[in-house]
Amino acid sequence: MTLKNKGLALGAVLALTLTACSSTSPTASGPKIDREGLSASVQYNPQPRENLKDGGTLTTASGGAPDQLNPFHADYTSGSVELFRWYNADLSLMSPDGKWSPNPDYLTEVKDELVNGNRVITYTINPKATFNDGTPIDWRAFATVWKASNGKNKEYSVNSTDGYDIITSVEPGKDAKQAKVTYSGPWVWWQGQFNTLLHPKVDNPKIFNEGYINSPHDEWGAGPYHVKSISKTDKTVVFERNPKWWGKPGKLDQRIFRNLESTAAINAFRNGEIDAVDASSKEPNTQVKTMQGIELRQSAALSTGFVALNPDSKTFGDPSVRQAVERALDRETLLKIKTEGMNYSEDLPGSFVLYPFQEGYRDNLKEAGVSYDEAGANKLLDEAGWTKGPDGIRTKGGEKLHLVWPIIGDSAAVKNVSVAAQAMLKKVGVELELPQRKGSEFADILAKKEYDTLYLGWSTGGPDEGFYLFCQFYCSPAAGYSDAKTTVELAKLAKEIGQLPDKQEQKDRFNDLEVEALKKYQVLPLFNGPKITAVKTGLANYGSGLFFRGPLEDIGWQK
């Protein structure tokens, strides 16, 4: 995931079993795994380039190429972000503990200054850095990102304006190969901007909004790899070494993303057809852990599984109904279901701005007064005028209390967490419909709000992203689950906090603001979980590395 864009990833990363829908978990097996221990663990087989072979292919599963490949666009997905990174400028690197550094392939120096109370960042661009069509990468690429993302031209459909909206200018420095970015005020989160760039030809709303739809525009890319092909039938994406790359060549001959749903991905890994697969839950973990020639690489997951409650749906227009649904969901039981058989434990998350293992974390959900309370949920629905009928389902004005919760993809994980929630909500008189939808429909479902409730995952790539991207999660129209009033209220307060000069004061204030956001009952964090990646032995610089983000050209196979 790029630092600029957080992925609303499908809940498919959270796998469960259908038999574990009771509050009692079956006997766990294997060594004990706990979230606190994983937070200090990174397993991605770090290796220097000289230890790697020249050649080979890395193939993994994905949801296939999304229709919208522009990661700055409002309709982006985590797939847009991941694929864009493999053939475009990737300006930032990060250590496992979250220390940011510029990628020297693109930036030879980054200078941070405070001038008359305003943050000024000067990016000195590698003289060799060039787009694939021969256009130099210079200050104009920075200006193109800013122009699209600052929110001034509403014709640009962007996923977030955070940080870009307070930039007053982007101009050349000593020459065109230097970009000078000036913020209004002391913006402390500047490392969250300009982690990838747009070609200067993406210079108007039409190209920005439509240019990357089913079209990667490889000629506008710049990196160690470029797009060889995208299948029109199954959306498989193949990257190969870029002959126009100026840096150290990629170790891989090809990087392939195959369009496979979760079940097919596990089968493909077991058959040796792909080289790595997510094994963070019981079903895939059980199927791969006895295989020969593989490793299970573990760390804490930088993601939060959550339920989105659409405030624009007819039933959820009443916040007390949303509150009742949140109280009816037993997160502790859902965690047991999610990790059944894995001997895993964690403190349930109470925030989207920090993970429980991070310094300064607060349980803002608890402070907002949200907890599992079946009796309280029934009371709220009674007071809202919803009465239980003979079948146990509540009605009001002749209408059933009926909610639609799409199950996206074929993952047993998504299905079973959804079925468990269905059983919990039925206890308080809520009828939950679980229509099956394809993984390829995810972006449309979110953008068109084709749901009342939806199981999602929020992923981050840096230690402080929950703060500077607070509004991308809580008050962005692109998120799909915030009502207009909440969006305006939270955005105004978040912008004020973002102008404070001290990071710690901002963190305190953002925690306070999150409490108010959670009281809107529009999102409910469920659990975090482990990050377990099953890989073929010998794959280097790839796996479960917490915040690690290394050069793409250094991913490969050991000699």
| Residues 264 and 406 placed together within one structural domain of the fold | yes
The pLDDT of residue 317: 86
User: Last residue of some domain: 209, 232, 252?
Assistant: 209
Enclosing domain of residue 148:
92-209
Q: What is the mean pLDDT of residues 115-143?
A: 98
Lowest pLDDT segment from 4-18, 136-150, 162-176, 333-347? 4-18
Q: Per DSSP, what are the bridge partners of residue 304?
A: 458
φ/ψ of 312, rounded to 5, equals -90, -5
Q: How far apart are CA 428 and CA 415, in angstroms?
A: 21
Q: Given pLDDT bands bounded at 50, 70 and 90, which one contains residue 31?
A: low
Q: How many CB atoms lie within 10 A of CB 431?
A: 17
The pLDDT of residue 475: 84
Q: Which two tokens stand for residue 236?
A: 């498989």
Q: Which two tokens stand for residue 79?
A: 């797939």
Q: What is the mean pLDDT of residues 384-408?
A: 95
Instruction: Provide the terminal-to-terminal Cα distance of the chain, rounded to the nearest Å.
Output: 28
| Residues 286 and 387 placed together within one structural domain of the fold | yes
Of the chain, the percentage scoring pLDDT greater than 90 comes to 70
- The amino acid at 537: T
417 within domain boundaries = yes
Q: How far apart are CA 177 and CA 184, in angstroms?
A: 23
Check if the beta carbon of residue 81 is closer than 8 Å to that of residue 296. Answer: no
The pLDDT of residue 1: 27
Residues constituting the chain: 559
Lowest pLDDT segment from 134-138, 168-172, 254-258, 495-499? 495-499
| Residues 288 and 408 placed together within one structural domain of the fold | yes
Q: 528: closest CA among 338, 284, 263, 298?
A: 338
Q: For residue 273, give the CATH number of its domain.
A: 3.10.105.10
In terms of Cβ atoms closer than 10 Å to its own Cβ (0-12, 13-18, 19+), residue 206 is exposed
239 within domain boundaries = no
| Residues 350 and 203 placed together within one structural domain of the fold | no
DSSP string, 53-104: -S--EEEEEES---SB--TTBTT--HHHHHHHHTTS---EEE-TT--EEE-T
Q: Given pLDDT bands bounded at 50, 70 and 90, which one contains residue 18?
A: very low
DSSP string, 109-135: EEEEEEETTEEEEEEEEPTT-B-TTS-
| Residues 203 and 336 placed together within one structural domain of the fold | no
Residue 311: helix, strand or coil by DSSP?
coil
| Contacts of residue 512, Cβ cutoff 8 Å, sequence gap at least 6 | none
pLDDT in tens, 401-453: 999 999 998 877 778 889 999 999 999 999 999 999 988 788 788 878 899 99
Q: How far apart are CA 534 and CA 539, in angstroms?
A: 10
Number of folded domains that form the chain: 2
| Residues 115 and 200 placed together within one structural domain of the fold | yes
80 within domain boundaries = no
| Residues 269 and 404 placed together within one structural domain of the fold | yes
Strands 237-241 and 539-540 come out as: unpaired
| Residues 356 and 275 placed together within one structural domain of the fold | yes
Q: For residue 142, give the CATH number of its domain.
A: 3.90.76.10
The pLDDT of residue 3: 31
| Residues 418 and 355 placed together within one structural domain of the fold | yes
Q: How far apart are CA 399 and CA 404, in angstroms?
A: 14
- Could you give the count of Cα atoms lying within 13 Å of 518 in the half-sphere of its Cβ? 27
In terms of Cβ atoms closer than 10 Å to its own Cβ (0-12, 13-18, 19+), residue 122 is middle
551 within domain boundaries = no
**Which sign does the torsion angle of CA 141, 143, 144, 145 carry?**
positive
152 within domain boundaries = yes
Of the chain, the percentage scoring pLDDT greater than 70 comes to 92
| Residues 359 and 425 placed together within one structural domain of the fold | yes
pLDDT in tens, 270-329: 999 999 999 988 788 889 989 999 999 999 999 999 999 999 888 888 999 999 999 999
User: Last residue of some domain: 209, 227, 245?
Assistant: 209
| Residues 453 and 531 placed together within one structural domain of the fold | yes
The pLDDT of residue 32: 60
Lowest pLDDT segment from 65-79, 181-195, 235-249, 261-275? 65-79
Chain-centroid distance, C-alpha 288: 25
pLDDT in tens, 45-93: 999 999 999 999 999 998 788 899 999 998 888 889 999 999 999 999 9
Check if the beta carbon of residue 339 is closer than 8 Å to that of residue 286. Answer: no
| Residues 172 and 301 placed together within one structural domain of the fold | no
Q: How far apart are CA 489 and CA 497, in angstroms?
A: 13
